[in-house]
């Protein structure tokens, strides 16, 4: 149990450094990694290799994925094609609330960042309703819906980092979506029903969508290229290499770049590289924290503690929820939790699909002040704390509990 107190101290330090001193996540997580290692009594010759190795592992897993996703997002944003995508969705869905939810749900996975997709969508979504309160609900719809698909679906970074770190579903990762996709759609439908009940009693007529310069296939081209490569690679054995998500996203980025002018391409790459670099460094910090925890006796200590009160099947959910509460980033939660669980033999008894869903369920929980998206929603909507908790924190926690229930059903074989 010697590492449990250092771990608790580390969680407090992460929370205080993030909320009180606004330190960047990379510095916070790497600094906390050193602090945890020292408090846990790890020798320096073990501590620093664990930190650098953990950071390097995350970069190798998510570096290309994040860069390409953010790059595609910036190309679409600089070229104004996000408005085309929203207009196409609105033509199918019709209702503003459903349009906002569908847009957030669909874009967060290929763009590889739920926050980025929300930032891009927010100015467009607010034009779908002229009433301020109704517009605010649309923003919550886009934000929460984006998080649902981002946390549950492959190949978004949460699930991708989980299965890669734990070496699950080798060669058949899409099997996860056979269960995760229906669950996510069920959660999306529930979200829209709840938010619909919170709209103003009299719905004002929606304003026409902002002009987009004409709908065209180029707005969807990066996503079509990604989907086509993944489909061909999965269905044609000699071309299996095309199913590699890194290769597919690279192709999608090049397709996006090939359809815009030189000035748009230059701006998109400059801004995309900057944003991707920040995100990648933050995730590398998470890898450092996870690496040093995994190299300590913490996995054995927490297993012994949890198994004294709970069944081993709940261990992934409990660890993920604790990490999520401490630092707020869902990809960080998945990376750190998977790294810890990889060193615990008892976890091997859990069904792989149930294991992935339990980690995702924990990543939904406690999305409060340590979550950067909480503050982004508060600024964008102008809501007070209670409003953000009611429309963001609680729906995501409910999604976590539903996902946990599905995981337990799978685990028990019902």
Dihedral sign, CA of 19, 16, 328, 271? Answer: positive
Q: How confident is the model at residue 332 (pLDDT cuts 50, 70, 90)?
A: confident
Q: Which range is least confidently modeled, 267-281, 308-322, 323-337, 385-399?
A: 323-337
Q: Give pLDDT tens digits for 126-145.
A: 778 777 788 899 999 999 99
| Residue carrying structure tokens 């080798």 | 170
Contact at 8 Å (CB) between 2 and 301?
yes
Q: How confident is the model at residue 190 (pLDDT cuts 50, 70, 90)?
A: very high
Q: Which range is least confidently modeled, 15-19, 96-100, 184-188?
A: 15-19
Could you give the angle at which helices 245-258 and 221-235 cross, rounded to 10 degrees? 150
pLDDT at 210: 47
Q: Give pLDDT tens digits for 14-65.
A: 878 877 887 888 888 899 999 999 999 999 889 999 999 988 987 887 788 8
| 170 exposure class (CB count in 10 Å sphere: 0-12, 13-18, 19+) | exposed
Distance CA(288)–CA(335), nearest Å, equals 10
pLDDT at 392: 94
Q: Which DSSP symbol is given to 210?
A: P
Contact at 8 Å (CB) between 302 and 48?
no
Distance CA(258)–CA(253), nearest Å, equals 9
Cα separation of the two ends of the chain: 35
| 237-to-6, 231, 240 alpha-carbon distances in Å | 49, 11, 5
- DSSP assignment of 102-122, as one string? HHHHHHTTTTT-HHHHHHHHH
Q: Give pLDDT tens digits for 74-87.
A: 898 899 888 888 88
Distance CA(245)–CA(156), nearest Å, equals 10
* Domain boundary assignment for the chain: 4-412
Count of CB atoms situated within 10 Å of the CB of 50: 21
């Amino acid at each position: 149990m010697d590492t449990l107190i250092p771990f608790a101290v580390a969680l407090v330090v992460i929370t205080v450094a993030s909320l009180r001193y606004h330190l960047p996540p990379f510095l916070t997580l790497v600094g906390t990694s050193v602090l945890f290692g020292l408090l846990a009594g790890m020798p320096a010759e073990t501590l620093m290799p664990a930190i650098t190795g953990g950071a390097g592992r995350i970069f190798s897993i998510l570096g290309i994925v994040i860069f390409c996703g953010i790059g595609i997002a910036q190309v679409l944003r600089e070229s104004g094609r996000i408005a085309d995508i929203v207009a196409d969705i609105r033509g199918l869905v019709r209702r503003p609330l459903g349009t906002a939810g569908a847009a957030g749900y669909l874009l967060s996975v290929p763009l590889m960042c739920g926050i980025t997709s929300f930032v891009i969508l927010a100015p467009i979504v607010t034009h779908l309703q002229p009433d301020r309160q109704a517009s605010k609900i649309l923003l919550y719809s886009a934000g929460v819906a984006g998080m649902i698909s981002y946390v549950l679906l492959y190949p978004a970074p949460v699930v991708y980092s989980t299965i890669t770190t734990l070496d699950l579903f080798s060669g058949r990762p899409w099997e996860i979506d056979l269960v995760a996709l229906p669950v996510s759609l069920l959660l999306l439908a529930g979200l829209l029903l709840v938010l619909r009940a919170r709209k103003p009693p009299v719905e004002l007529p929606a304003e026409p969508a902002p002009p987009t310069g004409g709908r065209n296939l180029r707005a969807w081209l990066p996503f079509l290229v990604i989907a086509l490569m993944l489909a061909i690679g999965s269905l044609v054995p000699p071309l299996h290499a095309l199913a590699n998500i890194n290769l597919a996203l690279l192709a999608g980025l090049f397709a996006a770049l090939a359809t815009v002018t030189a000035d748009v391409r230059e701006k998109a790459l400059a801004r995309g590289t900057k944003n991707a670099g920040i995100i990648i460094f933050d995730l590398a910090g998470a890898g450092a924290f996870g690496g040093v925890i995994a190299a300590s006796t913490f996995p054995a200590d927490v297993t012994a503690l949890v198994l004294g009160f709970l069944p081993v099947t709940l261990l992934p959910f409990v660890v993920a929820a604790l990490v999520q509460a401490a630092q707020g980033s869902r990809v960080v939660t998945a990376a750190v939790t998977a790294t810890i669980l990889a060193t615990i033999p008892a976890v091997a008894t859990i069904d792989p699909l149930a294991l992935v869903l339990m980690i995702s369920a924990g990543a939904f929980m406690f999305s409060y002040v340590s979550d950067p998206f909480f503050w982004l929603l508060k600024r964008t909507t102008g809501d007070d704390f209670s409003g953000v908790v009611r429309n963001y924190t609680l729906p995501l926690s409910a999604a976590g509990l539903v996902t946990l229930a599905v995981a337990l059903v799978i685990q028990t074989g019902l």
